[in-house]
Chain A
Amino acid sequence: MWVTLQASAADRLPVAVAGGVTAALLCAAAFFAVLRDQQVRAARAEVAGLQAELDHLADDTLPAAARRLREGASADTVFTEIPLPDNETHERILRTLTKEISVGHRQRAAAMAACANAAGRVQALATSMLADLREMENRHSEEVLGDLLKLDHSTAQAGRLADSIAVLTGARSGRRWTKPIVMESILRGAMGRIRAYQRVRIHSASTSAIVGYAAEDVMHALAELMDNATKFSAPSEEVHVYVEELHTGVVVTIEDGGLGMKPQALERAKTAVSTTEKLDLTKLSGTRLGLAVVGCIARKHDLHVFFRPSSRGGTGVVLRIPNQLVTQPRTEFPNPPTASQPAVTATGSVRTASAGATRTPSGETMTVVLDGEQPQQPLRSLPKRRRGQTLANSPQPSPSPRPQHPPRPRTDAGAKFGAFRQSTSRGQKPDSPSANQDS
């Protein structure tokens, strides 16, 4: 203003105008600066909000979604369960990822199921082939026995491979035994499934048996351990297997004379057979399935596997079978029931020698005689179907449940007593149903 006053009258107007314009510009600049400042602040706040939301998405929402998917929920279920992010883009990210993960899980599950199914079929085939081979070994002469044994061995190894795949895919193992299997058979069964079985030496005086439902798995685990022992020792070395019965269970030690294990390999092996860590499929390699299989079986039946250096120079593997899987073998009967001896007859009491047991012409019936004066009724046995066989193919029980001929007395008291034991061992109580047929 004072510049305007000091200027000459002629210049006063332009100076005043210039001054006013300048002042107005300054004011505008200041105004815009303040406005800008507010905008920047608002933008910063918005960015911070977005960042927080993004963090929430990355740290909470996505892991939660992945976890639910892993637990088996479908993508749609996950969307309804977890809080969706407010931001539309975040939601799109979440939806895309969830769908992809869900598809991945479904594919994995389908692949596992397909593998398990295929393994089951191969198992069934192998089991039926082994039974057929055994039958042929009985029928054919010495000339072909060697070849049959070779085929038998290859089939047993193929069956073990199928078992391994079944175990890793979470399917059930090969077969269930309906009786306890003695330790000697367990060890020989395990031995028979590996390539270099002739190098395995068994030192066992154990008379224990393994319960039927776990026998197959124990055999499989032992086979894998024996296979490792024979593979990682020189072909000239023998692998020794020792059995010890302790109050904590049965301990099987497998010792080889190989090079031993390096600390790193030992650590990996310990993790693989650990009963606390779950199977990690990503750590499987195509060629080293053995210990992973042993680990799966160990977790299932609470077996304990330890590695230690062997006095023979290689590795010693100790497998402890817990007491609940150990039992005593069923006592052997003087005349075990076989296919050639179809009629099983029994007397409830030895006193009734005159009544005697009946050998029915139908062949497949089981007769229980309670007393000499009491009538008898043959009980029809149910058809038995074995794995890999259709029911139509399985041996049918005889259609004629009643014997046509009057019972023939048998005078052999020893045979009678044996028959009694056989019948009671098959779950026949002495007071089971009697019937209306004359004795």
Chain B
Amino acid sequence: MMVRGAVDSEDPDRLYTLTGGRSRADVRDLDLVTLIVSEADPTPGMQSEHVKILRTCRFPTAVVELASELALPVSVVKILVSDLLDAGQVSARHPSSPRASAELPDPAFLKKVLVGLHNL
């Protein structure tokens, strides 16, 4: 049998009303560990999930943490975050990729290390 949450924790709104019918975010390199930081304060009349994201992301928060905080599927959170990114109210930080590519050692140097290791 499928395990369900407590009856009390259910809410009447369905996921497709949260996302306006979208089921995947626009092409954007958001992944589970992308850090989201809010750039603005929530304004009245905002969707409550957006408000929660902005409040949570006052400190950089990963997408997967947001998903657990909001109790929503990650793909839905990605859609909500991409809305806020479009509006410029949050920014996404990709901690690894740019720095990693800049600091990657020279292939020739790696080859030298490999040879050195073989010679051991």
Contact = CB atoms under 8 A, between A and B. Distances in A.
Nearest to B7: A386
Contact of B75 (A145, A182, A336, A393): A145
A297 to B, nearest CB: 16
A355 B14 CA distance: 43
A291 interface: no
Contact of A337 (B9, B44, B73): B9
A149 interface: yes
Given A149-B16, A192-B17, A339-B3, A185 B11 contact: yes
Contacts of B19: 149
Interface string A215-226: 110010000000
Contacts of B3: 135, 339
A77 interface: no
A432 interface: no
Given A178-B7, A191-B17, A197-B17, A135 B2 contact: yes
A181 B53 CA distance: 20
B23 A204 contact: no
B13 A197 contact: no
A227 interface: no
B20 interface: yes
Contacts of B15: 134, 137, 149, 152
Contact of A142 (B6, B20, B21, B24): B24
B48 A184 contact: yes
Interface in A172-225: 177-179, 181-182, 184-186, 188-189, 191-192, 197-198, 203-205, 215-216, 219
Contact of B4 (A131, A216, A336): A131
Nearest to B5: A339
Question: Which of B12, B15, B21, B76 is packed against the most chain A CB atoms within 10 Å?
Answer: B12
A304 interface: no
B15 to A, nearest CB: 6
A204 B45 CA distance: 5
Interface residues of B, number: 31
B1 interface: yes
B13 A189 contact: yes
Interface string B69-113: 001010110000000000000000000000000000000000000
Interface in A137-178: 137-138, 141-142, 145-146, 149, 152-153, 156, 177-178
Contacts of B18: 188
A191 B108 CA distance: 61
A46 interface: no
B28 to A, nearest CB: 13
Contacts of B76: 137, 145
A315 B120 CA distance: 85
Interface string B50-74: 0000000000000000000001010
A149 B4 CA distance: 18
B11 A393 contact: no
Contact of B21 (A197, A203, A384): A197
Contact of A338 (B5, B14, B44, B45): B5
A11 interface: no
Nearest to B25: A142
Contact of A131 (B10, B24, B71): B10
B17 A135 contact: no
Given A137-B73, A184-B48, A152 B9 contact: no
B24 A145 contact: yes
A142 B7 CA distance: 25
Contacts of B20: 198
Contacts of B23: 142, 145-146, 149
A130 interface: yes
Contacts of A130: 14
A266 to B, nearest CB: 30
Contacts of B10: 131, 134
A188 B10 CA distance: 14
Interface string B29-57: 00000000000000011011000000000
A178 B8 contact: yes
Contacts of A145: 23-24, 73, 75-76
B24 A205 contact: no
19 contacts: A134-B14, A135-B3, A137-B15, A137-B76, A142-B75, A146-B24, A178-B7, A181-B11, A182-B48, A188-B17, A192-B12, A192-B14, A204-B45, A205-B44, A336-B71, A338-B9, A339-B9, A386-B7, A393-B1
Given A142-B24, A386-B4, 20 more contacts: A131-B10, A135-B3, A137-B73, A145-B23, A145-B73, A145-B76, A149-B21, A153-B14, A153-B16, A185-B11, A188-B12, A189-B12, A189-B17, A198-B20, A204-B45, A336-B9, A336-B71, A339-B3, A339-B6, A384-B7
